[in-house]
Structure 1
Amino acid sequence: MDPRRVDAIIDLGYGALIFVSIGLIVSVGTLVGVAFGLGVLISYALHVAWKMARFDPDWMTQAVEETVEETVGEQVEQVERTVEQTVGEKLEETVEETVGEQVDAVQEQIETVDRRIDRRPREDEIEDLLEDTVTDETEEADG
């Protein structure tokens, strides 16, 4: 027999059993019909699982793999975003601190140079001193 025909006949048989359970609910009583119907549905679920495993033995493995890949992929993306955000914030803080310290150091050096420049005599003061020195030496030589 062709396996597909057997599967089709089995599926029709389960359908007929479901109609029998409906008939039992109507004629005998709700409790008996519901119990029979639940038994039919549970056995049908087992049949479908068996059929899927027989036609494609890797179907359950593939389904689990796909689910795991999706879940792990999403979690990895979340972790990457969190790490990028944390590292970016820390890097930004570190850069700001380093640049701030370097700017402060340069500013201190500029202030030191400015103070040194202010302590040195200006060109016109040096010329005046030279003129006074030359004048004093000339007077001493004359006198």
Structure 2
Amino acid sequence: MCESLVDLNSQVPDLLNACVEGQPALSTMEDHQWYKTEFVPSVVGRGLDVSKKWGRSSAPSTAIAIADAIRALVVPTAPGDCFSTAVCSDGNPYGVQEGLIFSFPCRSTGNGSYEICDGFVLDDWLASRITASQEELEKEKSSIMHLL
């Protein structure tokens, strides 16, 4: 499986499928609650934290992330690796409603084409976070449908 940390929408880092030095990331932690109660909220609030610390926007970090995302799509992904990117949810293997732009683990075949990686394990907590992200996106989509 992928050895990269995957972010599954609304900034939910997936440590269930990530590895640290070849070992499942969660197996290297003694306190799994820390992941849910401290680590995830710190990831969600990182943009605001950067802005507060430096007194300016976190836009440079966003620009770097955009450049990394483009690079990930145009360079073929190494075997066994993957990256997170927001793509159309149509045909995804994780049960996310079609017609949304959602972050999935992907691998690039180069030249901008990609495929969604399947086989990621979802425990109840991670599945609930994905469902919450989907519901949030559905509300956002329905709130602007009259503009389209």
Q: Fold-level match, TM-score > 0.5?
A: no
Higher normalized helix content (fraction of residues): 1
Higher normalized strand content (fraction of residues): 2
- If asked which structure has higher relative contact order (CA below 8 Å, sep 6+), I would say 2
Larger radius of gyration: 1
TM-score by length of 1: 0.21
